[in-house]
Structure 1
Amino acid sequence: MAKYQSYLYHVAYSVLRSSKDAEDVTQEALLKIYASLPQYQHQGFKTWITRITVNKAIDYKRSLERKREQLTDEPELLFPVNPTHTVEEEVLHNHRRQRIRECLDDMPHNYRDVVVAFYIEDKSYQEIAIEQGVTLKTVESKLYRAKQWIRKHWKEEEWG
């Protein structure tokens, strides 16, 4: 372990580009290597441990990307769901969430960005302006136009 820990850390870091994540993956890889020693076939030890570490790092990176996708692909999940809902209410709620997602997908990109940032991510006009590199007035205008677009394109009876 002492002999290869630094080497394995650098292998993990080359995949992940994060020192904290590389440390975690190095520890997982060392545990996996130790547990897998009985299966080792005495052919290129350094290659074998490198392959285990690279695979652990790739798996870790994929899991991070899946978590990120889940957070960004379903912004309506940021809203808490009341656990006392009946099955019917839950079905209606899920249908409404699906409609919101579809409508947000239909919304022009520049409007969708400010609507999601302001209403779902609960960011201030100032935060949005800084993130998008625009003036405060531009954020106000985009939100105003987004509201107009919503009034024109979303029918109230769809949200019943």
Structure 2
Amino acid sequence: MNEQKLIIKLQKGKAEAYSYLFSEYYDWLCNYVFNLSGDRLLAEDIVQDAMVSLWEKRKTILISTSLKNYLFKTCHNQFLQHIRKEKIQYDTLDKIRWDTISEATLENDPYDYKLEKLNKLIDQLPPRCKEIFIKNKLEKKKYKEIALELGISIKTVENQMSKALFFLRENVSVFLL
């Protein structure tokens, strides 16, 4: 089907145009988002949201590139919005968690043995990952400060922190039992 005709039919609210788009691109888009996220269900949710958004905005939508590029870009942006939302939630939880650990350390809490085990778990992180994690969580430095201090990009700091937090989340419950 000609792309311009497809866009016009979509703008007019023709269900067959939408069905064609969905059947033609859904699997590709899901695979694309899955490669970004590593989560099949999340990928499907994001693609479905993008497709619903396309349908809802069909009358006012202006597509300056190809329809395929527009759909991939929309899914990419939806994924980035999801990441930003999740990062805010994780940052809040991490702040509460690490503030509690810091307080427990200062008060010589009866849970010292758990803190000792947590420190051993942190010691298992790769050296660079551990260094960045400690600077952020224990020294309370921001990503930008760490990047400048170590001469690396902020993105590298973000990636290393993601690895550290993933490792700790995966292992802390088993380790502290």
Query: TM-score with structure 1 length normalisation?
Result: 0.48
Higher Cα Rg, which structure: 1
